[in-house]
Structure formats: structure tokens, C-alpha cells
């Protein structure tokens, strides 16, 4: 854990040093050392620092949400981006904009409501039709649901030019150009979700042993599932509201965290906290330099890197059940 935290600090520092603009790593490092440079001060503290903080929060939220979703679905391929949770949030925001809402005022709550509906729809289909017992079929059902929502979102953007102009860059996932006020707006949701995660971690670990064992220990499986769904909706909705839909982070982070922590969901959640920001910040740094002087959207880069991971997990000889 100490090594992961040290790596997170190092990546955060690199995120402050590297980016678009005329301020290179040398000038940025001199500024952090105490030099007076107004241009470097603006770029580092007004542009790169908020972006770094948002990357940390988004990474934590998506990593923990992915671990919770995989634990409650007992499926290592359950991921907010694959199962339609992020797509539900994006569709809800686009629909609200078409109906006249302002992206600046309604994005967070609307995105969380869309994430909640998407999460409930997919898990209900998985539970009622037995799809959740098969990891591949669950991913296919989620991919079909995500594709449907993405198509409807594209249709809305084609229909309403104002909505398309407001969320053109947001809908593909990016941390560029986000304001610190956006981050402050999601902090209450993050705090509520953190308290809920702390309360359900132990019952969720008991649920991993089976419903009868969990009931025998005094827990209520259905209540635990609904609380997990609410937590996932709060976390994914908040992350999507400030960064747009970013796929595969919720798949990769718990996968790496379990390599350190083992199958215990309580330890996995702790390890997701530094690993999620590490992956998001590293991807964001790469997105800034890979096509310089332009930037590649973060959502595009995570999709390019995450898809091979998904294929590798699916092609594993024995896909583990949680």
C-alpha cells in the first residue's frame, strides 16, 4: 500500500509538470520550487492542478464502484461502463439538456439518476433471467444496453444542436477544461457514498459467502444489493458528471486491486483507492502528450487500453467467479 501511495504522489507531480501550453516540466518544477512566473502559475495552479484533483476523485469513484458492482453481481466482468451505468448517466444528461436544462446546474443529479436507472435495469435483467450466472452473457447484455443508450444519446445530439454544443467533448470522456467548482459540486455525493461503502463493506463480504450465510449472520441480502446499487449510482453518476463516461477503469482497477488484496472485498476496496487515481492520472498524462500539441480524449485512451484487458480476461482459461 505504501508503494502505491508513493507512486500516486509521483504521478500527481508529473500531472502538474506535463501538459499542453508553453510551460514545460522545467518551468513548472521551478514554479513549484518557489520561482516567480505568472504564466506558469496560471497554467499549473489554474489548469493542471484542478485537472489532477479531478483525476484522483474520478479514479477513486470508478475503481470503488467497479469493485462494488463486481462483488454484488459476483461477476469479475461487471463494470459500470460495460453494463450501461455510465451510458445511462450520459443519456440522462443529454435528455435533460434537450428538455431545456442547463448543463452547469443539473448535470450531477441527473447523471446520478441516469446511472441508478441503468444499474437497476441491467442487474434486474441479469437476476431475473439468470444472465448474471454467466459472465460473458452478462457483458453481452450490458454491451447491448450500453449500445442502445449510446445510440439514443447520439440521436438526441443530432436532434438538438444546443445540447450537442454543450456536451460534445464531455460525452466522449475528458478531464480537460473542467472547473474546480465542478469538483466541489460532487463532493457531497462522494461523502455520502463513502459512508455507505463503510457501512456495507462487512455485509457485502458476508454476502460473498452466499445468501444463506449472510442471512445467518444477521444481514439482509436484498437490502445490501439495493445499497450497493445506490452507492454505484452516486459514484458513477458523480464521476460521469465531471469527466464524462470513461469506460474500463471500473474493470481494470478491481482486477489489479485483487492481485494485491486477494478476494476479500474489504481489502480490495482499500487498494482501489490509490490504484484508481494512478490509472486515471497515468492515462490522462498520456492523452496530453501522445498527439501533442493536441490532446486525445481520456475516454478514447481508456477504451483503447481497456479493450485488450477485457479480451485477455475473457480469454483466460478459467474465468473466476466472485
Alpha carbon of residue 111 to chain centroid: 13
Q: pTM of the entire structure?
A: 0.81
Exposed, middle or buried by CB within 10 Å (0-12, 13-18, 19+), for 36? exposed
Q: Which of the given ranges, 50-59, 87-96, 206-215, has the highest pLDDT on average? A: 50-59
Contact indicator for 88, 118 with CB cutoff of 8 Å: yes
pLDDT at position 103 over 60: no
Q: CA distances (Å), 221 to each of 1, 75, 80, 119, 208, in order?
A: 31, 16, 21, 17, 10
pLDDT digits (tens, 9 = 90+) for 192-211: 888 988 888 888 888 777 77
Q: What pLDDT is recorded for position 164?
A: 67
Report the alpha-carbon distance of residue 260 to residue 107 in Å, rounded.
35
Tell me the three cell numbers of residue 153: 444519446
Tell me the three cell numbers of residue 313: 480476461
Amino acid at each position: 500500500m505504501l508503494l502505491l501511495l508513493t507512486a500516486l504522489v509521483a504521478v500527481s507531480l508529473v500531472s502538474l509538470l506535463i501538459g499542453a501550453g508553453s510551460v514545460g516540466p522545467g518551468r513548472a518544477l521551478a514554479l513549484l520550487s518557489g520561482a516567480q512566473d505568472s504564466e506558469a502559475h496560471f497554467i499549473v495552479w489554474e489548469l493542471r492542478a484542478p485537472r489532477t484533483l479531478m483525476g484522483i476523485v474520478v479514479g477513486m469513484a470508478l475503481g470503488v464502484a467497479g469493485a462494488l458492482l463486481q462483488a454484488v453481481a459476483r461477476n469479475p466482468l461487471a463494470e459500470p461502463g460495460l453494463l450501461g451505468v455510465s451510458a445511462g448517466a450520459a443519456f440522462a444528461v443529454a435528455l435533460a439538456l434537450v428538455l431545456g436544462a442547463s448543463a452547469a446546474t443539473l448535470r450531477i443529479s441527473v447523471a446520478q439518476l441516469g446511472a441508478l436507472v441503468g444499474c437497476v435495469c441491467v442487474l434486474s435483467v441479469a437476476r431475473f433471467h439468470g444472465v448474471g450466472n454467466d459472465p460473458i452473457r452478462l457483458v453481452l447484455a450490458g454491451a447491448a444496453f450500453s449500445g442502445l443508450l449510446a445510440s439514443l444519446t447520439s440521436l438526441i445530439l443530432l436532434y438538438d444542436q444546443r445540447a450537442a454544443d454543450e456536451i460534445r467533448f464531455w460525452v466522449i470522456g475528458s478531464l480537460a477544461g473542467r472547473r474546480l467548482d465542478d469538483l466541489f459540486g460532487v463532493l457531497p455525493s462522494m461523502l455520502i457514498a463513502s459512508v455507505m461503502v463503510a457501512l456495507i463493506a462487512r455485509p457485502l463480504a458476508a454476502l460473498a459467502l452466499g445468501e444463506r450465510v449472510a442471512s445467518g449472520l444477521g444481514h439482509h441480502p436484498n437490502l445490501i444489493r439495493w445499497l450497493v446499487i445506490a452507492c454505484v449510482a452516486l459514484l458513477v453518476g458523480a464521476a460521469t458528471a465531471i469527466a464524462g463516461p470513461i469506460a474500463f477503469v471500473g474493470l481494470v482497477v478491481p482486477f489489479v486491486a485483487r492481485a494485491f488484496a486477494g478476494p476479500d472485498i474489504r481489502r480490495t476496496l482499500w487498494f482501489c483507492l490509490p490504484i484508481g487515481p494512478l490509472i486515471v492520472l497515468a492515462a490522462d498524462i498520456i492523452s496530453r502528450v501522445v498527439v501533442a500539441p493536441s490532446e486525445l480524449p481520456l475516454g478514447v485512451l481508456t477504451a483503447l487500453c481497456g479493450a485488450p484487458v477485457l479480451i485477455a480476461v475473457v480469454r483466460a482459461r478459467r474465468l473466476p467467479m466472485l
